[in-house]
């Protein structure tokens, strides 16, 4: 471990880390992944929110409370939390990671997510992490599953096992882009299956994905896990679409 730290320090001197947004040289210790100027432009999701789905209440004078959607149709997951709003700098970084196939950016975003403070989530209460799976066709086209990279980083940080084979995407679906909440729910229905109920039963599970849009995909995954015997499913994503802006 000491040798690794020394080598990393030497590498940082020769090739100083840069902000993944503007390429500015990062200041040692105080800056990670993004420089201070870019970080100020990112809308980190903290403050008043729905305790279940994590929707933000930017203009609400009251404290955290259930949103209308969760009051009307309670999701299968117990809570969903995200690091930042899916816009500007974070949106561009995720696009570089997923569609530009930039795994180095993916690793940095994964570290950002792992180091983020989720104050109302007790990681020690969870014994398994499951990334949202891709269909084999999409996996072959992209070459990697971005959710696995995020999940592995969080698993190492909190010493929680990651299993990417227990939940399978068994149906190829149309892209969710451009669909509203109801259309997304119909599109994703029946798209997942649990491969081994015994390994799910009684577990508290953290489900990982890159972006929470309407929650349809994540809720369908949580539904399958709960019906397979999971005691509780929490959702963590790197980003979240806010204010009914469907992407």
Angle between helices 146-158 and 103-115 (to 10 degrees): 40
Whole-structure pTM value: 0.88
pLDDT, position 206: 98
Residue 208 forms beta bridges with which residues? 131, 236
Helix (H, G, I), strand (E, B) or coil at 83: strand
* DSSP secondary structure of 71-127: HHS--SSSEEEEEEESSHHHHHHHHHHHTS--HHHHHHHHHHHHHS--TT--GGG--
pLDDT, position 7: 46
pLDDT, position 48: 86
pLDDT, position 120: 87
Q: What are the 10-residue block averages of pLDDT along the chain, 247 residues in total?
A: 52 75 92 96 91 83 78 94 96 96 96 94 96 94 96 97 96 74 82 96 98 94 97 98 63
Contacts of 9 (CB under 8 A, 6+ apart): none
pLDDT, position 3: 57
Question: 126 with 151: CB under 8 angstroms?
Answer: no
Domain spans of the chain, in order of start? 1-41, 42-240
pLDDT, position 6: 45
* Cβ-based neighbour number of residue 20 at 10 Å: 22
pLDDT, position 211: 96
Q: Which CATH number fits domain 42-240: 1.10.287, 1.20.120, 3.30.70, 3.40.50?
A: 3.40.50
């Amino acid at each position: 471990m000491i040798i690794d730290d020394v080598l990393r320090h030497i590498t940082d001197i020769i090739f100083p880390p840069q902000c993944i947004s503007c390429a500015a040289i990062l200041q040692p210790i105080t800056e990670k992944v993004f420089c201070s100027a870019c970080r100020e432009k990112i809308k980190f999701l903290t403050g008043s929110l729905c305790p279940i789905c994590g929707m933000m209440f930017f203009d609400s004078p009251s404290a955290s409370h259930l949103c209308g959607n969760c009051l009307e149709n309670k999701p299968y997951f117990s809570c969903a939390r995200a690091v930042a709003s899916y816009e500007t700098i974070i949106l561009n970084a995720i696009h570089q990671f997923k569609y530009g196939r930039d795994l180095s950016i993916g690793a940095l975003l994964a570290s950002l997510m792992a180091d983020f403070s989720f104050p109302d989530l007790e990681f020690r209460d969870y014994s398994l992490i499951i990334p949202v799976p891709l269909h084999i066709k999409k996996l072959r086209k992209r070459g990697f599953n971005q959710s696995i990279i995020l999940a592995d980083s969080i698993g190492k940080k909190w010493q929680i096992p990651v299993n990417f084979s227990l939940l399978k995407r068994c149906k190829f679906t149309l892209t969710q882009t451009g669909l509203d909440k109801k259309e997304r729910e119909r599109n994703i229905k029946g798209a997942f299956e649990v491969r081994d109920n015994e390994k799910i039963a009684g577990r508290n599970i953290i489900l990982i994905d890159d972006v929470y849009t309407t929650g349809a995909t994540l809720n369908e995954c949580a539904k399958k896990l709960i019906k397979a015997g999971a005691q509780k499913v929490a959702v963590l994503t790197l980003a979240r679409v806010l204010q009914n802006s469907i992407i």
